[in-house]
Chains A and B, each alone.
Chain A
């Protein structure tokens, strides 16, 4: 089998190619020495879906990223590939998920696992510096509130928030679009919302918001 032709995506260390079924796919260069390109599945990763939907995301190779809701570390590992000269601070609450995340972090010097609840940023403020970007994908209720509190504590002025809103974790009875709108409304004042992207068909009932922290 011949390897497919890679194209640049405009994102550091992220490439796209056309798969055998004709669909566009993503891959990142593996930061772990000896590793090759790693396929980045948009059906498993919301960030990959966001990129495939044509959104330019503001993560650079030297970015400091605070990643809230790191789970088992799949998407986080790709972010770690992108920020080859930066650092990802990966906050995850579940000890079971952290177990896997620790294994992912061990060979990646730029990936820092933190077992903590993103609801309480005070509990990890001794470990996280001011960052360029906050990426948030948590399955908790007060998603906008968590983004605001973390941004106030850690995000530099003009820094970016990439917020994945999971409608089902906020209210399973209301329509997804209503939930998206009411969460986005809460961001106003603290952020200037630049983009709102529905993650269909990769993830149903999920939207991504890209926003910039307003001047105080």
Chain B
């Protein structure tokens, strides 16, 4: 029988060690081996503690050296595994979360800039990016104006960062999730990924969950029996849902969620664009609307 430990392979016969093949004492090569197979890091071989064996067969000189190598090995392994966990979807999620943070921050800063600007000047209808651009164009050496201009430049910088991040999403969402992007658009699709945590998890969610993700507090109120079930969470931002008549929103949200859920599954399991999905959703939504108007005219 062979026992494969992190510093070598022991061959046993009737529980007795008959042969030892020590590995090279090089953390990197041991690490690469460890990523491939679960070598034993702690425990016993033939009744003897691994550390004692490592000393007995001359792999290390002391318990201190043994412990320190093993510590280094565990940290190296964890680092490798963390690096491996960064995938295309974690990058997309980072970008869309950055966009949401920028939106929130830029709104606060834009309001502040306007409050500051109107203290000194006459009223203005300009706001947001337009106002910031206008202020940076002002001449003058007044320290207050200069501070305001610097503020405005920082804000313009944020708007620009948002454009770049969105460009990144626009390019990469169709690569990661072509079907999800075609049904929900790159921003909403990325937000759904962000809340689900990964494409794999979005693909494994039932569509009834997809329908209400992002409506956490409403859902918990409902589960405690204090409110009706939420009709939509994040997918309210889908144009089919937010333009639908109020009465039909629930039905349409359900149709959109079910296609999003299908799309995520196609993306996760096949990765190829299925053109017909978008048309099916169009037809379904048109159908719901038609049915409603028919009922209205007959009722």
Contacts and interface: CB of A to CB of B under 8 A. Distances in A.
Interface of A: 95, 98-99, 101-102, 105-106, 109, 112-115, 126-129, 172-173
B75 A106 contact: yes
B41 interface: yes
A123 B86 CA distance: 20
Kindly name the residue among B71, B74, B78, B224 whose own CB sees the greatest number of chain A CB atoms within 10 A. Answer: B78
Nearest to A168: B220
Contacts of A127: 41-42, 74
A32 B70 CA distance: 18
Kindly name the residue among B42, B43, B68, B86 whose own CB sees the greatest number of chain A CB atoms within 10 A. Answer: B42
Nearest to B72: A106
Contact of A113 (B70, B78, B86, B223): B78
Contact of B220 (A98, A115, A126, A172): A172
Contacts of B220: 172-173
* Nearest 8 pairs of A and B residues by beta carbon: A95-B85, A126-B38, A129-B42, A115-B81, A127-B41, A113-B78, A173-B223, A95-B82
Tell me the dominant secondary structure on chain B's binding face. Answer: helix
Kindly name the residue among A109, A112, A114, A129 whose own CB sees the greatest number of chain B CB atoms within 10 A. Answer: A112
Contacts of A109: 67-68, 71
Contact of B39 (A115, A126, A129): A126
A129 B70 CA distance: 13
A176 B77 CA distance: 38
Contact of B75 (A95, A113, A172): A113
Interface in B28-43: 38-43
Interface string B32-58: 000000111111000000000000000
B67 A172 contact: no
12 contacts: A95-B85, A98-B81, A105-B71, A105-B75, A112-B70, A114-B74, A126-B42, A126-B43, A127-B42, A172-B220, A173-B220, A173-B223
A98 B86 CA distance: 12
A98 B78 CA distance: 8
Contacts of A105: 71, 74-75, 78
Interface in B249-286: none
Contact of A115 (B40, B42, B78): B78
A64 to B, nearest CB: 10
Interface residues of B, number: 22
B79 A102 contact: yes
Contacts of A98: 78, 81-82
A118 to B, nearest CB: 15
A169 to B, nearest CB: 13
A95 B198 CA distance: 13
Contacts of B223: 172-173
A99 B82 contact: yes
A126 B78 contact: no
A1 B139 CA distance: 51
A109 B71 CA distance: 6
A76 to B, nearest CB: 13
A172 B70 CA distance: 41
A141 to B, nearest CB: 15
Contacts of A115: 77-78, 81-82, 85
Nearest to B71: A109
Nearest to B220: A172
Given A129-B43, A172-B220, A173-B224, A113 B38 contact: no
Nearest to A115: B81
B86 A95 contact: yes
A95 B81 contact: yes
Given A127-B41, A129-B43, A112 B74 contact: yes
A127 B76 CA distance: 13
A112 B77 CA distance: 11
Contacts of A173: 220, 223-224
B75 A102 contact: yes
A173 B220 CA distance: 7
Contacts of A172: 220, 223
Interface in B193-237: 220, 223-224
B104 to A, nearest CB: 21
A127 B77 CA distance: 11
A105 B39 CA distance: 21
Interface string B108-131: 000000000000000000000000
A53 B86 CA distance: 40
B130 to A, nearest CB: 38
B208 to A, nearest CB: 17
